[in-house]
Amino acid sequence: MSDFIYSTRNIDRLCMRNALHSIYEKDFPQVSYFSGSWGSLGFTKNMYNGYEPYETEQYLVVVIGGPLLTFKENDFIKQENSNLGTKAIFERWKSGNIIWDQDLNGPFSVLIVNKKKKEVVCITDIMSFIPIFKNSNDNQYTLSSHIDMISIVTKKTNNFDDVSLVDFILHGTVTFPYTIYKDIYQINPASTHVYAQSFNELKVKSYWEPHETNKCTDINETAKYLRECLKSNINMVTSQTTNIAQFISGGEDSRTLSGLLKDINRDAYIYLDSMNREGKIAKIIADKYNANFKPSTRNQYHYLNIIEKCTDLIGSGAEYHHAHTYGFHKNLIKYDAVYGGLFSDALLKGARIKKTQLSNKFIFLPNRKSKTNLINENLTNEFFDKKIINELKERRNNHLCYIKTYRKESAEEWFELWPSSMNRNIPNIHANRRLFKSYEPFLSNEIVKVSARIPQKWKLNRELFNIMAKPYLKRSKWVLHGDGWYPYFSSKTNLIVSFITWTYRQIGKRVGFIKGNQGPWASWKKIIYSEKWERKVSDYSIGLSYINKLVKERLNDIKLKSELSTLQYIAYTQVLYQLQKRCTNEKES
């Protein structure tokens, strides 16, 4: 399934359908509905083959996402309207032999309803790449894979959590386990959650935790193991089908992916503002790795035009603009698998390790870990009510303390990784899995476990990643990265190259012989300072009136843009839309 709603109480079929359809503008997916003395369950059709629901006289089983199974062949990948994957998971669970962090690979959630015992078991994946949300009230439980769906069926759509709203504006995420709504929380990652009407509570048992113990000691052996993990993960799909595509760029992650897929005829997609430097490099990479290059260009205001559709799709409390494929996704539906390189930066290259100011400012300098705790650096903001800021600090400090029970040396890094909803980039997965059959090899359980065990110094400056990826980067040895260095070589070797390229480009921009947006993402300052963006913000006046309750003095849009970062201002606009929509719906109802 793409999404589900389960409740111990009976939810009307029409209410269930409307909630499940609420995140789509059109092309509403098929909805299935079941109910009984055990409660009610609704879900939308899964994008991934093999994961239709499985039902027996006693059990009802649904799977969200398209996990790869390591205990059997994934021969159902090409079989439409099949439940072979769901049945295989259920039978392994029923036998008592299932090991969730070994047998299922990638984003998933499994829901098993025991209709006779009136019991439900919900299993989350190793990092909650697919987050699951809960609401409890009067000994009634509701679970859902989408935050706004659960708010609709529990009638919490206007019950906002003010601290979480400010948290999202300032950080682009909402601190676990809180959500945008009061009384709705995210449940734990890597856990089985059991609810039975006989004991009226949700019992939680963890099956994996990100401890720092048993650290890897041999970097070359670890790199070799990672290569085997990636090859195995990809082979589980490509041994069953070669109807695949991939995302490509001027970076090193897509080159690594291209090296792993080089023997398969496939299409390689990239989305850009124009056919710029990034696109030209991606074209060279596609040619070198035998891929059919498929570029598409965006309208200048593409990200403004999709703000409402993508916010609805991925859910409140997640940054919408990571849904890069939205608007282009219909070309991807025809593939059995579409590969990306997401999260390699976060898990293997220390993207979430706090760096020194110089490391952040100058990309050619070696990465150095900051010795300062920076998790509350954004909470010096002068706009928002002091009580809200203080409570937000407490929430974030509590989450950091929770992470420190697993990780003393790298708590600040894993603060933004565990669960994955703490990482502002993860909405990319939330969008893609609902639009086409998305596969991300770097999200495999083995990669996550290695990330938890390796020293941080191996992540910094691509030390481990470079050794691991070197065989796949050889074909593009002398092709510059979009950022101006050679991925085949180590960061130390690239120091002079990176400095020269960076200096040349800085001079080129100032002199004027390098013009326009040369990277893969949008020119955000041009968008948010445009008249169109200003008109969009003015359309959300009801949302602005709500935000003014959270601040010390009435907000001025010009001052906001100068005080908030670009990403914070985008998140602020997104919140305005969410508030406007909820308040408008309340008036209409």
Same domain for 53 and 186?
yes
Residue-number span of the structural domain to which 575 is assigned: 524-588
Residue 394 covered by a domain = no
CATH of the domain at 198: 3.60.20.10
Give the whole-angstrom CA distance, residue 182 versus residue 326: 29
Same domain for 78 and 128?
yes
Same domain for 298 and 427?
yes
Residue 412 covered by a domain = no
Same domain for 442 and 532?
no
Residue 374 covered by a domain = no
Same domain for 300 and 200?
no
Residue 505 covered by a domain = no
Q: Number of folded domains in the chain? A: 3
Which distant-in-sequence residues (6+ apart) come within 8 Å of 524 by Cβ? 303, 566, 570
pLDDT confidence of residue 359: 77
Give the whole-angstrom CA distance, residue 13 versus residue 24: 18
Helix (H, G, I), strand (E, B) or coil at 32: strand
pLDDT confidence of residue 71: 96
Same domain for 315 and 284?
yes
Give the whole-angstrom CA distance, residue 291 versus residue 545: 51
Same domain for 302 and 437?
yes
pLDDT confidence of residue 464: 97
Instruction: Give yes or no for a contact between 40 and 6, defined as CB atoms under 8 angstroms apart.
Output: yes
Domain boundary among 458, 477, 496: 477
- What is the value of pTM for the model shown? 0.95
Number of Cβ within a 10 Å radius of residue 586: 11
Give the whole-angstrom CA distance, residue 313 versus residue 224: 38
Residue 346 covered by a domain = yes
Same domain for 569 and 464?
no
Give the whole-angstrom CA distance, residue 526 versus residue 2: 35
Number of Cβ within a 10 Å radius of residue 448: 25
Q: What is the DSSP string of 531-558?
A: HHHHHHHHHTHHHHHHHTTSBSS---HH
Residue 488 covered by a domain = no
Same domain for 200 and 294?
no
pLDDT confidence of residue 375: 83
Give the whole-angstrom CA distance, residue 451 versus residue 471: 20
CA distances for 343 relative to 132, 214, 346, 352, 423, angstroms: 20, 23, 5, 10, 10
Place of tokens 């159902």: 76
Residue 483 covered by a domain = no
pLDDT confidence of residue 135: 95
Write out the chain's pLDDT in tens, 589 residues. Answer: 699 999 999 999 999 999 999 999 888 999 999 999 999 999 999 999 999 999 999 999 999 999 999 999 999 999 999 999 999 999 999 999 999 999 999 999 999 999 999 999 999 999 999 999 999 987 789 999 999 999 999 999 889 999 999 999 999 999 999 999 999 999 999 999 999 877 777 899 999 999 998 788 999 999 999 999 999 999 999 999 999 999 999 999 999 999 999 999 999 999 999 999 999 999 999 999 999 999 999 998 999 999 999 999 999 999 999 999 999 999 999 999 999 999 999 999 999 988 888 877 778 788 888 887 678 877 776 788 889 999 999 999 999 999 999 999 999 999 999 999 999 999 999 999 999 999 999 999 999 999 999 999 999 999 999 999 999 999 999 999 999 999 999 999 999 999 999 898 899 988 888 888 888 888 898 899 899 999 998 888 888 888 888 887 776 667 777 788 999 999 999 999 999 887 766 555 5
Angle of helix 463-473 relative to helix 219-238, nearest 10 degrees, comes to: 50
Residue 558 covered by a domain = yes
Which distant-in-sequence residues (6+ apart) come within 8 Å of 398 by Cβ? none
User: Residues of 224-245 as b/e, b for ≥16 C-beta within 10 angstroms?
Assistant: eebbebbeebbebbbebbebbb
Give the whole-angstrom CA distance, residue 423 versus residue 172: 8
Same domain for 291 and 151?
no
CATH of the domain at 282: 3.40.50.620
> Long-range contacts: 552-560, Cβ < 8 Å, 24+?
552/382, 552/383, 552/384, 552/385, 552/386, 555/383, 560/383
Same domain for 190 and 252?
no
Same domain for 280 and 239?
yes
